[in-house]
Amino acid sequence: MRQSADELLRIITDNATRDVSEAQSLPPDIYHHPDILQLEKERLFGRGWICVGRTAEMPDPGDYICFDIVDQPVVVIRQKGESIKAFPNVCLHRCSRLLDGRGHISRISCPYHSWTYKLGGQLIGAPFMQRTADFDTADHKLRELRCESWEGFVYVSLDQNAPSIAGQLADLGEIVGDFRMANYAPVYEAMMSGTPTGSAWLKTSWMFIIFVECTRIRSVSTALLKIKRNFFRAAMLSRITMFRTTRGRTVSRHMQPIRGLKAINGCVLT
C-alpha cells in the first residue's frame, strides 16, 4: 500500500537527522507519489533557485537561453552591460511563447502578432494597437524574474522573495573558491560546432557525461582500467576538462599534472 506524503516526509526528515553511517535509501514511493511531486513543484521549483546555464554561454548583449521551470516558460537574456535578466517567455498580448532554444537577438519580437520588446522587456511596438483607446506601449513591460549569477552559473527563481543565492552558497564558496569557476568557459558547444552530426562526442569520453556523478566514478574507473591505458588517461582528462578558463588555461592545481596529456584527447586543454 502506498505511503502517505506525510509519512514519506517524516521518513525523509528522520533520515536527515541521522549520522551518515546510518543513512538509508529513500522510500520508493518518494519517486512517484503525486503529492510529493506537487510539493517539489511548489517548494523546489516554485521557490528555489534553478541553475539554467553559464554566463559564458551568453557573452554578448542579446544572447539568450530559453527553458521551462515546471510549466513556466522562461528566458534569460544578456543585457547591454554585464547583467543578465530573466523574464517569463510569454507575450503580454495573447500569451504566445516569445523565443525558442538559444540564440542571439537585438530585440524580442513575438512570432504571433509581432509585438516587440527591448532586451530589457519594455514594449516598444504593438501593431494596430494605436487604434485602442488609452493604450500606450510605455505602460507595458515583461515582468522581471529573479536572476543572479554565482561563480559563472546563472540562477533563476520564480519566487520574488527568495533569499539571494549568493548568500545561500556562501559556505560552498569557501570550499570551491580556489577553483575560480567564474572564469571557466564551457567547451561543449565549441566541440559540437562545425560538425554536421553529434559525432563530436567521440572526441571525448562518456566519462565526461558523468562528471557530476561522483558516486559512480569509482566503478567506472575500475572498468576503464581494463581498457587501454591511454584511453583511460584520455577519459580522465576529459572528465575534468568540461570547462576551460577564458584565458585558455586551467586554474586548478589538481588539473595541472595532467595538462601534458592534451594530445591524447586532442582538443580540450590549451
Which chain residues interact with ligand FES by CB under 6 A? Answer: 91, 93-94, 96, 110, 112-115
> How far is Cα 194 from Cα 200, in angstroms, rounded to an integer?
9
For residue 46, the tally of other CB atoms under 10 A from its CB is 16
In eight-state DSSP terms, residue 107 is S
β-sheet bridge partners, residue 117: 108, 123
Closest to ligand FES by CB, 132 or 199: 132
Name the residue nearer to ligand FES (CB basis): 114 or 195: 114
Residue closer to ligand FES (CB basis): 64 or 115 = 115
- CA dist 64 and 3 (Å) reads 43
Helices (H), 139-201: 165-168, 170-176, 188-192
- What grid cell was written down for 64? 539568450
Q: Is 123 exposed, middle or buried (0-12, 13-18, 19+ CB in 10 A)?
A: buried
Yes or no: say if 210 and 217 are a contact pair by the CB < 8 Å rule: yes
Report the C-alpha gap between 45 and 70 in whole angstroms. Answer: 7
CB nearer ligand FES, residue 112 or residue 231: 112
Q: Which is nearer to ligand FES, 110 or 185 (CB)?
A: 110
Helix ranges, 56-195 (H): 165-168, 170-176, 188-192
Which CB atom, from 92 or from 237, has the smaller least distance to ligand FES? 92
Going from the C-alpha of 133 to that of each of 115, 136, 137, the distances in angstroms are: 17, 9, 12
- Compute the least distance from the CB of residue 123 to ligand FES, in Å: 10
